[in-house]
Amino acid sequence: MTTATKKSEPEFLTKKQVAELLQCSQRQVELLTQKKRIASPIYLGSSSPRWSRTELLASLNAATTQASQVPQ
């Protein structure tokens, strides 16, 4: 598949897509969200959470930066 035909990545991700991106379970996505370790989702309906790819990646980068600054 060439770059021109490559399907663009969606800006808003389902819980399943977030779990696949993070290589974890959907339950782990719920726990990470509850613990504020990743960005909170927006809700399109009462049971339709969607995570902004931009905010999710930013929250992961911030968590990685904080973890690397912890004294050993």
Q: Are the C-beta atoms of 16 and 23 separated by less than 8 Å?
A: no
- Over residues 45-70, the pLDDT tens digits come to 999 999 999 999 999 998 888 777 76
pLDDT attached to residue 70: 63
* pLDDT for residue 20 is more than 90: yes
How many whole angstroms separate alpha carbon 20 and alpha carbon 60?
A: 15
Alpha helix positions (H), the chain = 15-22, 26-34, 53-68
Does residue 50 contact residue 12 with C-beta atoms inside 8 Å? yes
Tens digits of residue pLDDT in 3-14: 444 468 899 999
